[in-house]
Amino acid sequence: MAEKKAKTARKKRAVGPWQIAFERFKKNRVAVVGASLFIIIVLSVIFVPMISPYEISEFNLADKEQAPSSAHWLGTDEQGRDVLLRLFVGGRISILVGLMAASVSVVIGSLVGGIAGYYGGAIDNFLMRIAEIIYSIPFTPTVISLSAALMWRVSSEQKMYFVMLLIGILSWPGLARLVRGQILSLREQEFMQATEILGISDRSKIIKHLLPNTLAFIIVSATLGMAGAILTEAGLSFLGLGVTPPTPTWGNMVERARNTNVFRNMQWLWIPPGVMIMLTVVSINLLGEGLRDAFDPKEIR
Amino acid sequence: MLKYIARRILHLIPVLLVITIILFAMLQIMPGDPVNAYLGIGSNATVEQQQQIRELLGLDEPLPVQYFSWLKRSLTGDFGTSYKFRKPVADVIGKYIWNSFYLNVVAMIFAFLIAIPVGIKSAVKKYGLFDNFWTVFSLTGVSMPSFFFALILIFFVAIPSKWLPLNGMRTTIYLAKGYDSFGQEVLDVLKHMILPVTVVTISSLASLTRYVRNSVIEVINQDYIRTARSKGLSEKVVIYKHAFRNALLPIVTLLGMYIPGLFGGSILLETVFIWPGIGHVLFTSIGDRDYSMLMAANTFYAILMLAGNLLADVSYALVDPRVRVK
């Protein structure tokens, strides 16, 4: 049904592939729910801390360890800090780390994949060998050991940047392989012969003509990669090897549950951040799957 | 075929070497002095004694020399001594991988037993109610942080039940006085396995059902399935005799890929459940600065990973002869 409509739409006026994808995405109800949920989460982590009557650095030992009430909707922690505020400020950091880690991985992955696919030969061999090595490094044990090795040199505020880089640098090979494969097949097509005749430089051939054609893959991979990165950061911070307090993230807020007293008696400290991680990752995954279906050329034609 | 496998293995050797160099370099930047870790907390060794230990452990040599002596010893199966366990690292790993293995193998059996029928049924009635339910289930399973799911299960299931253990692998009383019989030991361990197995099963089920579903869908779209249908075969015969048998090939490939991974425990889960597997050992050896242990455990995980990739390639080549020619 969606295909038919897309076809008639194309006949009426010139519709680009991006518009087709957008139309298809809008019709996918699950994907729209995912996208809306994600937008709501992003807006609330931005605005809730602004309208909160509390300050993130504010603590009040007289009010510590209070159960949820009208003054503190999600209670307070052992230093009397408002959990609701920390939850949304933590969300800013968790989402930002996920976004930046995915960006690092997308930039490295698409450049390496693009260069390897375009030049081929020795360069391709060399770059893909590096990709294979990084791909074969066992992800979780290495991330954990590397954080432990480097964390002590990094101050608490800088740890989030460190975690972004670490996750990004270890997770690009999958995308690089994908982009390389795409470029290999695109390189043989006629429009690339045209760029050859026009004498366009290699750099703009790769960046202006080849990579945009793989953009659909890159966007999907970036979305799903962001979901993965948020989970990785949460896991690392849960083990105490990611972003550490006083900077809140959802992962290090759940980490409080490793204390038996908090785990058994103060659920308001660890259940809400865990639920937020899940909601965010579900919404991003729904969005990513929806984008994948919307871009899928097999279903457009 | 043998030539292909040999070539693949030769190809992996430099990859493994580079990984061990990276891992070795990583240990050098870790905080703390391994000599102090070796001595343990509260030792009153003199500077001379510390120096002696440093020489004994070979830590006074230049780094490349240290790496090559590690490599030479490792090739003979000697991964050094664990500072914490005071035992050869190989023995410690050899003991703890089995705890991880028991957990993973039970979870894998459950996951495959559920995923195969569910995947087939979802594929046959694509976008039906059943398929949509499992789509949502898989998505939630992939998106759920395993450690949080584990905490939720402990809090909402194990604590109220008063019967399920919260963590560990054996009941403390039995650890002290020993089991009366082998049957009792098996039952006790099984009881401790229920929650961790649930978490591992659900998280692997999520991707597995999708995988089975997609491979069955791919086969159903083939021409020979249309032929089988137009011959007038019953739908049951078409699906189970023609479609599923062919969809089984990628599933078997996946099974092969899973096998090495069975020996590597999930660090997060084993930490939450205090399950004495290799993942837990790796995590605690970071805190204990148990360098030989950490190096060996990381190398072990890398070998598992490479073995998984190798098995996947080899089984693809077995299934699809075109791969071998390249």
Handedness of CA A176, A178, A179, A182 (dihedral sign): positive
Partners of B266 in beta bridges = none
What is the per-residue pLDDT across A186-242, written as a single tens digit (0 to 9) for each? 888 888 888 888 888 888 887 888 888 888 888 888 998 999 999 999 999 999 888
> Is residue A1's pLDDT more than 90?
no
What is the per-residue pLDDT across B233-278, written as a single tens digit (0 to 9) for each? 888 888 888 888 888 777 877 887 788 888 887 889 999 999 999 9
Q: How far is B222 from chain A (nearest CA, A)?
A: 15
Residue in A224, A238, A249, A270 to test binding to B, most B beta-carbons within 10 Å: A238
B227 touches chain A (CB under 8 A): no
Global pTM reads 0.86
Residue A50 identity (one-letter amino acid): M
> Which is higher by pLDDT, B40 or A23?
A23
- Chain A residue with CA closest to B297: the answer is A141
Retrieve residue B39's tokens.
């001595």
What's the complex ipTM? 0.84
Q: Which chain A residues are within 8 Å of B283, Cβ to Cβ?
A: 144, 239
Q: Give the pLDDT of residue B291.
A: 82
> Is residue B47's pLDDT more than 50?
yes
From A152, A263, A282, residue closest to B139, measured CB to CB: A282
Handedness of CA B277, B279, B283, B289 (dihedral sign): positive
What is the per-residue pLDDT across A37-85, written as a single tens digit (0 to 9) for each? 999 999 999 998 888 777 777 777 777 777 777 777 777 777 777 888 8
Using DSSP's 3-state secondary structure scheme, residue B326 falls into coil
> Binning pLDDT at 50, 70 and 90, where does residue B325 land?
low
Q: Give the pLDDT of residue B165.
A: 86
Average pLDDT for chain B: 84
Answer whether B26 sits within 8 Å of A152, measured CB to CB: no
Q: Give the pLDDT of residue A227.
A: 93
> Is residue A12's pLDDT more than 60?
no
Q: How far is B174 from chain A (nearest CA, A)?
A: 23
Residue in B27, B143, B289 to test binding to A, most A beta-carbons within 10 Å: B143
Q: What percent of chain A has pLDDT over 90?
A: 28
Q: Give the pLDDT of residue B113.
A: 92
Q: Which chain A residues are within 8 Å of B152, Cβ to Cβ?
A: 271, 274
What is the per-residue pLDDT across A104-122, written as a single tens digit (0 to 9) for each? 999 999 999 989 988 888 9
B17 touches chain A (CB under 8 A): no
What would the mean pLDDT of B218-246 be, rounded to a whole number?
Answer: 85
Q: Give the pLDDT of residue A301.
A: 34
> What is the count of residue pairs from A and B with beta carbons less than 8 Å apart?
108
From B22, B30, B143, residue closest to A278, measured CB to CB: B143
What would the mean pLDDT of B75-80 be, rounded to a whole number?
Answer: 83
| Packed helices B291-319 and B244-261: angle between N→C axes, nearest 10 degrees | 160
Residue A257 identity (one-letter amino acid): A
Distance set, CA B154 to CA A50, A137, B271, B281 (Å): 36, 32, 13, 22
> Binning pLDDT at 50, 70 and 90, where does residue B42 land?
low
Q: Which chain B residues are within 8 Å of A149, Cβ to Cβ?
A: 26-27, 29-31
Answer whether A254 sits within 8 Å of B145, measured CB to CB: yes
B283 touches chain A (CB under 8 A): yes
> Is residue A124's pLDDT more than 50?
yes
Q: Which chain A residues are within 8 Å of B144, Cβ to Cβ?
A: 278, 281
Retrieve residue A166's tokens.
């670490």
Q: Give the pLDDT of residue B41.
A: 62
Distance set, CA A189 to CA A184, A192, A198, A204, B176 (Å): 10, 6, 15, 17, 72
- Residues B169 and B192: beta-carbon distance below 8 Å: yes
What would the mean pLDDT of B209-219 be, rounded to a whole number?
Answer: 87
* Distance from the first to the final alpha carbon of chain A: 12
Retrieve residue B107's tokens.
């979870």
> Is residue B287's pLDDT more than 50?
yes
Q: Which chain B residues are within 8 Å of A271, Cβ to Cβ?
A: 152
- Chain B residue with CA closest to A140: the answer is B267
The CA distance from B154 to A270, in Å, is 13
Question: Which residue, B161, B124, B126, is CA-closest to B235?
Answer: B124
Phi and psi at residue B178, to the nearest 5°: 85, 160
Q: Give the pLDDT of residue A283.
A: 93
Q: Give the pLDDT of residue B321.
A: 66
Residue in A136, A146, A263 to test binding to B, most B beta-carbons within 10 Å: A136
Retrieve residue B115's tokens.
């995923």
> Is residue B32's pLDDT more than 60?
yes
Q: How far is A184 from chain B (nearest CA, A)?
A: 16
- Chain A residue with CA closest to B295: the answer is A145
What would the mean pLDDT of A177-194 be, rounded to a whole number?
Answer: 84
The CA distance from B280 to A226, in Å, is 27
> Is residue B177's pLDDT more than 50?
yes
Q: Give the pLDDT of residue B9.
A: 87
> Binning pLDDT at 50, 70 and 90, where does residue A300 land?
very low
The CA distance from A66 to A48, in Å, is 21
